Structure 1
Amino acid sequence: MRIVSGKYGGRSLKAVPGDATRPTTDKVKEAIFNMIGPYFDGGRSLDLYAGSGGLSIEGVSRGIDEAVLVDRQYAAIKTINANIAVTKEPEHFQVMKTSAESAISRLQGSAPFDVFYFDPPYAKQTIVNDVAQLIEHGLVAKNAVLVAETDQNADLPEAISGFKQVKERDYGITVITIYEYEG
């Protein structure tokens, strides 16, 4: 695993040890950023199921100003912090060891987010509920983009609480669905 492009491009990233997370492959990561970017002029991102932190770190490498990474597993948080250290710019990242639901509640009142990465455990996919909570708590910026990485059984709807599906691509068992916020 590595940072594919941008100012940190080519640097290696660690995966979370064990079977509790599955890192996004470099091929899928490159495809995601080609669909939503590929580069950014600032903004904030939120990853509620950060795992190794690869998607958020890639986003900052490509121009996102600040990334908030959330995971509830100690091993994931340890890996995220090690991967952030590779960037040598920890000031661009905020790491929270908590559940997605708790993070959303704690983030209420902060600046809204422009990019959301959703890569929850496939069997515990709660994207629709999480998005409703983000909107209710005022955490979604105008024209925000949502990236959902699921398996083929997720069957996400065409629209989620003001987000409209604009792209969907299959990569083996992984499905990437891109939504844009219409408010």
Structure 2
Amino acid sequence: MTLRIYGNRQLKTIPGKDTRPTSARVRQAVFNIWQGKIPGCRWLDLCAGTGSMGAEALCRGASLVVGIEQSSRACNIIQENWQRVAHADQEWKVLRGNVLQQLKTLSGKQFDRIYFDPPYASGLYQPVLEAIAQYQLLDSEGEIAAEHSSQDWTPPVIPNWEICRQKAYGSIALTFYNAVE
């Protein structure tokens, strides 16, 4: 299967159902919401899958994109995709492994935009969002978008964060968080 992103660029995907690429409709919505905030930003792509969100951020001018993905097969595809779309002045890195363990290695770094799209029934929402807060990975002016099912989902409550918007796109929904003073 092939996937197209911003600028009609084609990305590779993994055959089968090991990953669930973010739909074109949801990708477009995220980048419309964050319009004007992507050029020069530091982007973190959690549970990156095929890396389509990070690739889109690179195409739209992010200065740094870091992806975390557990599947080695998916990591190879992400690297191919990002290498194909990145410019020489953009930095990118793919970290393979458990998302909670890899977040700890990023302690001390901050990101302007974080996209989090785990398997919906994984139980990762609360611990990952708490880890992002604990390691202070979200810039004070940054936002997180958590993709989830539009059915049967309770947004985690994270101290010093608020939900700034929620959007539904059929069976998929997004909850956006930012830090509060």
1:72 to 70, 89, 95: 70
* 2:94 paired residue number: 95
Contact 2:59-2:86 at 8 Å conserved across structures: no
Contact 1:36-1:145 at 8 Å conserved across structures: no
Deviations 1:15-66 (A, max 9, x none): 2222121101111100111112255241211112000111111112222210
* 2:165 paired residue number: 167
Amino acid at match of 1:155: T
* Superposed CA RMSD: 1.8
Deviations 1:99-133 (A, max 9, x none): 11111111113x21111111000110422221211
**How many percent identity over aligned positions?**
30
The normalised TM-score by structure 2 is: 0.89
SS in 1 for 2:4: coil
1:155 and 1:77, CA in 2 relative to 1: closer, same or farther beyond 3 A?
A: same
2:4 to 2, 16, 20: 2
1:20 and 1:161, CA in 2 relative to 1: closer, same or farther beyond 3 A?
A: farther
Amino acid at match of 1:29: R
Amino acid at match of 1:138: Q
Q: Distance in 2 between matches of 1:83 and 1:113?
A: 21
Which blocks of at least 5 consecutive residues in structure 2 are unaligned? none
Number of equivalent positions? 177
**Residues 1-183 of structure 1 aligned to structure 2 (within 5 Å):** 1-4=3-6, 9-89=7-87, 91-109=90-108, 111-151=109-149, 152-157=151-156, 159-183=157-181
Contact 2:51-2:67 at 8 Å conserved across structures: yes
Which blocks of at least 5 consecutive residues in structure 1 are unaligned? none
SS in 1 for 2:147: strand
The normalised TM-score by structure 1 is: 0.88
